[in-house]
A and B are shown apart, each in its own frame.
Chain A
């Protein structure tokens, strides 16, 4: 019997930690980790409302979000490794080839 606002605040804390990580980190892998934190915050909300409404939709979409996160990390790390191979550095503020 958990009260809903507590779960939502836990999710808000995870999300704001992720926002800070995306904004403050230079290392591309650390930025990806912060994105994972934000995706987890969304999943906690989906599962909490699924339990509140006694419907399965939230849990199904949490599973879809986990699958999309796995795909995103795979592609992201491939890009990071390619970047390291060509630039010898994975700092996101040094990658400005496409910057206008």
Chain B
């Protein structure tokens, strides 16, 4: 195992444990803060894989914007505390399905990419100029579609959430 792989395993354990804490925590604000830890460790994994630009976008957009939006949403609504108000009655069925999905995915991964003959791969060169060239040379049309989607979502969110003055 190389040093990068040790760093990855540490990040993956932290991220995985806090991901489980996100979905099992009985306090909504704690869940949002565990989500920050998970997103930061995913950003660290991107850095280890060489995807620099995606890592910084992850930290700026997810940790900087989306989690703040979640915290605003929690402040504007009632945030109950306790397992019975946060979880529904079928959570044991949900746990069985979650563990089943994990077991099935691990089985498929072992089948498709066996651990013993897995080749270690070089980190990608994900600097800003390489990513920018790929976006604006090969993916201009999807980029425009995504920007249009963001505009539509922005207008839709304002229209949905504003107070209706006419009534």
In contact, A51 and B122 (Cβ under 8 angstroms): yes
Q: Given that A24-B91, A29-B28 are known contacts, is A5 also in contact with B161, CB under 8 Å in the complex?
A: no
Chain A residue nearest to B125 (CB atoms) is A54
Contact with B along A1-36 (1 / 0, CB 8 A): 111111111101111111111011111011011101
How many A residues are at the interface, by size bracket? 35 or more
Chain A residue nearest to B130 (CB atoms) is A56
Chain B residue nearest to A16 (CB atoms) is B102
Contacts of A64 in B (CB 8 A): 142-143, 146
In contact, B146 and A67 (Cβ under 8 angstroms): yes
Contacts of B149 in A (CB 8 A): 67-68, 71
Contacts of B39 in A (CB 8 A): 36, 40
CA distance A58 to B20 in the complex (A): 26
In contact, B102 and A10 (Cβ under 8 angstroms): no
Q: Given that A2-B49, A59-B124, A75-B153 are known contacts, is A24 also in contact with B42, CB under 8 Å in the complex?
A: no
Q: Given that A3-B120, A10-B15 are known contacts, is A69 also in contact with B66, CB under 8 Å in the complex?
A: yes
